[in-house]
Amino acid sequence: MVDRDVGAALAALEAHRVEIGHHTMAEFFAQDARRFERLSLRLGDMLFDYSKHRINDATLAHLLSLARAAKLEEKRAALFSGEAVNVSEHRPALHMALRNFSGRKVMVAGRDVMPDIFAMREKVYGFAKGIRSGAFRGATGKPFTDIVNIGIGGSDLGPAMAARALSPFAQKGLRLHFVSNVDGADLSDTLAGLDLATVLFIVSSKTFTTQETMTNAASARARLVAALGESAVGDHFAAVSTKLDLVERFGIRDDRVFGFWDWVGGRYSIWSSIGLALAIAIGPDNFDDFLRGGHEVDDHFTQAPLHENIPVIMGLLGIWYRNIWGFGTHAVIPYDQRLARFPAYLQQLDMESNGKSVRREGGPVKMSTAPVIWGEPGTNGQHAFFQMLHQGTDIVPVDFLVAAEPIDADAHHHRLLFSNCLAQAEALMRGRSRGDVDAMLAKSGMNADEAAQLAPHKVFAGNRPSSMILYRRLDPMMLGRLIALYEHKVFVQSAIWDINAFDQWGVELGKELASRLAPIVSDDKADLSALDASTAGLIDYRRKLLS
C-alpha cells in the first residue's frame, strides 16, 4: 500500500513538472509580490529562503503528499522513540540524545541513557577544563600548547570542520591539528615544528582497530617515546573509544578514556566524546551552546508542521530535483571561509547515509538516491566552478550560507562578501536574455557584426534553483543548528527512498581488501597469482620502481 501511494505521488509530481516546466522563477516572482514572505521560514535569528526554486504552491502540495505517502511522520517518530531504525545492525540511531536538554528520558532497550550521557559529558568537560587551565600537563611539567586529534571519517571530519568554523571562540595559546590520512606525510607535516613535550594526542576510534587511525597513533606514540621515553605516553595520550582493553595496552590511563555508544554513528558523532578536541578548544560553555543549537533544531523538526518545517522542506526540494528533474549533484556554498570544511563534512553525512541502492527490507531501490554533494567557500568558487553553474549543460541546485555580521573580520570585507552571495543567487535565478545582451552591446558601441558573434556567449539561461540560509553570525549555537538541519534533511530523504540512513556497508569491502593486500604489498616475494591481472600488474610495477 505504501509503495502504491508513493508511486502515485511521484506520478503526480512528474505530471506537475511537465505542467510548470516552461515557467520560470522570474515569472513566479513577477506574479506574486509576496513570494519571498510565503516561501521563507525562520528559526530564531536564522532565515531559510526557498523562494528561488522551480516551485509553486501546487508543487509544495504534491511534495507534502509524497512525504505523507512515504510515512515520513511515522518514521520520524520511530527515529526519536529509540526504535531500531538501523535495521541492518539492529540498533537505534539516537545521536539526538547527546544534545537533549528537554529533561525527557531517552530509552534504549528499556533503559534511560541520559544519566550515562550526562556523566560522560562531565568527564569530557572536566578533562577539557584541566587542559585549558594548565592543571593537566605533559611529562616534563609544561602545559599543553597543541592538541593533535588522530581519527578518520566522522572522527576527523566533524571535529576538524567545527574547530575551523569556531576558531574565534578557541582559547588563545591552544592550537588544534587533525591527522586522518594513512599517508605518512599527514602526520609528519602536522608534527613538524611542534614540541612533543607540549603536545596532547587524542586517538579517536570506537573499536581502537581502525587501520588508518591506529597506524598513525602507533607512529605518533613511537615519536613521543623516542623524544620523551615510554613513561610519557600516559601523560600525552587520551582516547575516545569503547575498547578499554586495547586502550590500556596502548598505555592510555582510564581517566583519559572517553566512550560513546553503538547507537551513535560515526558521521553523527561530533555531539559525543568525539568532540573532545573541540570542547578543549572552545570550552564547555561554548560546547554546551553548540549542543543546544542542535537540540533547538530537533524540537523544530519534531514539532513544526511539515509545511513550516525547514529540514522537511530542504529534503523535499532535494527529492524534487533528484527524482523528478533528474539533477545529479547538489552544491553547498558557504560564504564564510571558516566553513571551508563544511561541504566535505556534508559529503560524508549525505553520501554515506543515503548512498544506497537497497531498501530497508532488502529489495532494490526504485528511485535514484543520494546526489553528489560538493562545494567550496564563496567567493573562491566564483572564480573556479561558477562558470559551470551559470552556463553549463547540467543544472546544479545550490545552498548558499551566509552570516549577517562577521566575527573577527573586517566589516567592509563582509559587506562585499554578502553582496557577492546575493548577486550569485540572483544571477542564477534571473539569468540574462538575448534581448538584454543585444541592448547592452549596442549601448557599448560595438558594431553589429561583432555584437552578433559575441552575444550568444553572454546569454545566461537563468532559472537555476538555490536556497539561502541567512543568520546573524556563525557562533557555536548557529553551527549546531546548521549541522542538525542537514542531519534531518538527510533523514527526510532516506524516508522517501525507504533506505537505511544509518549503516555504511559500502565502506567495508575496501577495508577488507586493503587488509588482504597490505601483507602482499609489504612482501616483495609474495605470490601474486591469486590476484586479478590489474592489481597484480600494479604491485609488480611498483616492485620494479623500487628495485
Is residue 525 in some structural domain?
yes
The pLDDT tens digits for 423-456 are 999 999 999 999 999 999 999 999 999 999 999 9
How far apart CA 150 and CA 220 sit, in angstroms, is: 9
* Catalytic, out of 296, 352, 376, 487: 352
Q: What is the pLDDT of residue 2?
A: 74
User: How many other CB atoms sit within 10 Å of the CB of residue 12?
Assistant: 17
Is residue 81 in some structural domain?
no
C-alpha cell at 296: 533547538
Dump the DSSP string for 213-274.
HHHHHHHHHHHHHHHH-GGGHHHHEEEE-S-HHHHHHHT--GGGEE---TTS-GGGGGGTGG
Q: What domain count does the chain have? A: 3
Same domain, 25 and 144: no
How far apart CA 426 and CA 400 sit, in angstroms, is: 11
Same domain, 310 and 250: no
Is residue 349 in some structural domain?
yes
Residue 85 DSSP SS3: coil
Same domain, 323 and 268: no
Q: Is 383 among the residues known to form the active site?
A: yes
Is residue 123 in some structural domain?
yes
Is residue 74 in some structural domain?
no
Same domain, 123 and 236: yes
Q: What is the pLDDT of residue 104?
A: 95
Same domain, 37 and 115: no
Is residue 90 in some structural domain?
no
Same domain, 279 and 400: no
User: How many other CB atoms sit within 10 Å of the CB of residue 450?
Assistant: 10
Which CATH number is 343's domain given? 3.40.50.10490
Beta bridge partners of 409: none
Q: What is the pLDDT of residue 1?
A: 53
How far apart CA 138 and CA 404 sit, in angstroms, is: 42
Same domain, 250 and 319: no
Same domain, 257 and 339: no
Same domain, 256 and 130: yes
Same domain, 333 and 247: no
Q: What is the pLDDT of residue 453?
A: 97
Residue span of the structural domain in which 512 resides:
507-546
Same domain, 479 and 532: no
Is residue 455 in some structural domain?
no
How far apart CA 327 and CA 324 sit, in angstroms, is: 8
Q: Is 511 among the residues known to form the active site?
A: yes
Q: Which of 304, 489, 116, 491 lies closest to 106, judged by CA?
A: 116
The pLDDT tens digits for 88-117 are 999 999 999 999 999 999 999 999 999 999
* Catalytic, out of 90, 383, 443, 525: 383
Q: What is the pLDDT of residue 242?
A: 85
Is residue 362 in some structural domain?
yes
Q: Is 74 among the residues known to form the active site?
A: no
Which segments of 231-385 are extended strands (E)?
A: 237-240, 257-258, 329-334, 372-374
| Ranges in the chain, pLDDT < 70 | 1
User: How many other CB atoms sit within 10 Å of the CB of residue 528?
Assistant: 15
Q: What is the pLDDT of residue 501?
A: 98
Same domain, 264 and 348: no
